[in-house]
Chains A and B, each alone.
Chain A
Amino acid sequence: MSEATTSTETTAGTFEPRIQAFVCNWCTYTGADLAGTSRIPMAPNVRIIRLPCTGRIDTLFILKAFERGADGVIVSGCHPNDCHYAAGNFHARRRFAVFRELIDFLGLDPDRITFSWVSASEGKKWSEIVNDTTERIRRMGPFSAYRGLAGRTP
């Protein structure tokens, strides 16, 4: 993630959002792979980090992504009752729910983050998540308010 620090604003004034996705290995990553092999057109703005399970997605990953230059984040895993580890996504769902309202209270717009369930067969849905998120973040503009806060690293 440390490479993802370059500015996303171009001199021409057009803005290409940089979106970081955190996805689970078993459902969403496979679904994203299917979207790719099916050659479904998708915005090229999303970078994927694959984790074993949504239960492994510490919400600090999300803040770190914003710190290091992401304008938007996608968090996605298996549908309820489909988790490879049975309950990882149920645990994650509670944490995400609280996290979302917490950052909202701190003044960070939670619409910067898309939470979704995408199964291994839902290549189409993944492409929609990618395209919709890219469009939404494009409208919201760069998230310089957060990454621009005083920090030790640039």
Chain B
Amino acid sequence: MKELQDLAAKLLAEKTVGLVIGWEQGPRGARPAFVADPKDAGRLIFDNRCVHNLAAYLSPRRPHLRGFGRIAVAVKGCDVRAVAGLVRESQLKREDVVLLGVRCGGVHDEPTDAGPLTAENLADRCVGCEVREPPRCDHVLGELPPAPPSRDGRRAGRIAELDALDHAARFAFWRQELSRCVRCNACRQVCPLCTCERCLADKTDPPWIESSPHTRANFAWHATRALHLAGRCVDCGECERACPAGIPLNLIGRKVAAVVERRFGYRTTDDPQVPAPIGAWKPDDGQEFIR
């Protein structure tokens, strides 16, 4: 991707930015790349293995990167929503970043996967994507690849199956899944919107969320995490991809997103001016559950 490499080198040489964050070829597939020297810009790539949402590196939890000054970051159309989330919540000034939007034809589930995309190996969030042409970017690069193969979303189907169960059966399912959580916090660290410098889960006095990886503590952790991300999660899928225990975290995230959309008419957006739904309210919000 010569266009991306040339632009990165130019931005660095002109000192428009102090750092370019993109993707490069690693020993096991694509991986995030950090380029501060224009001579290294040739490392940058973009293809269907570049699944990482690099907006996570713009989080205020990464002050060492902010030390580079202005940062240029390569983003797919969907990643722009995470940048918008940070701007919306005053965690990032839009003028402090240069967004290098890459036209996208869908990505694999894992950066270690290779080969052409099929209905089988396409990441679920790419199904029905409407932002293959990245919005609100400073530069938009590359040719628009063909649309990814179409199929039904897998998670929507799985959520409907779970919804159809009774409480005991759903509880049994999640007890089994969440019992495997080792509380490594990878799901939090990788998330572009888990911006708290001190997470509630790290507070031990009082221990609102027990830090030991017991199933009950894990329920409290995941319920809390999901609620803190309600109306903020951008469905990048990074939490589920990072999870070493293979817990289907996106099922929870998608469920909450559907609730937020149904109740408050809000869908995650790349427009930072639209207020987040939790933190806003309307006098006539539904309250059929309140006596």
Contact = CB atoms under 8 A, between A and B. Distances in A.
Nearest to B287: A93
B237 to A, nearest CB: 18
Instruction: Give the one of B223, B230, B252 with max A CB within 10 A.
Output: B223
Contacts of A108: 167, 171
B95 interface: no
A103 B179 CA distance: 16
B215 A149 contact: yes
Q: Secondary structure at chain B's binding surface: helix, strand, loop or mixed? A: helix
A109 B263 CA distance: 20
B179 A150 contact: yes
Interface residues of A, number: 41
Interface string B186-200: 000000000000001
B227 A100 contact: no
B209 interface: yes
B253 to A, nearest CB: 10
B152 interface: no
A99 B230 CA distance: 9
Contacts of B104: none
A97 interface: yes
A63 B256 contact: no
Contacts of A90: 281-283, 285
Interface in B254-291: 255-256, 259-260, 263-264, 277-283, 285-287, 289-291
Interface string A117-154: 10000000000010000000000000001110111110
B208 A102 contact: no
A151 B277 CA distance: 33
A143 to B, nearest CB: 11
Contacts of A106: 170-171, 174, 219, 222-223, 252
Given A60-B208, A94-B278, A101-B259, A149 B286 contact: no
Given A64-B208, A110-B289, A150 B216 contact: yes
A107 B168 contact: yes
Interface of B: 159, 162-163, 167-175, 179, 200, 208-210, 212, 214-217, 219-220, 222-224, 226-227, 230, 252, 255-256, 259-260, 263-264, 277-283, 285-287, 289-291
10 closest Cβ pairs, A-B complex: A107-B171, A107-B170, A149-B216, A90-B281, A151-B216, A116-B291, A115-B290, A150-B214, A149-B215, A152-B212
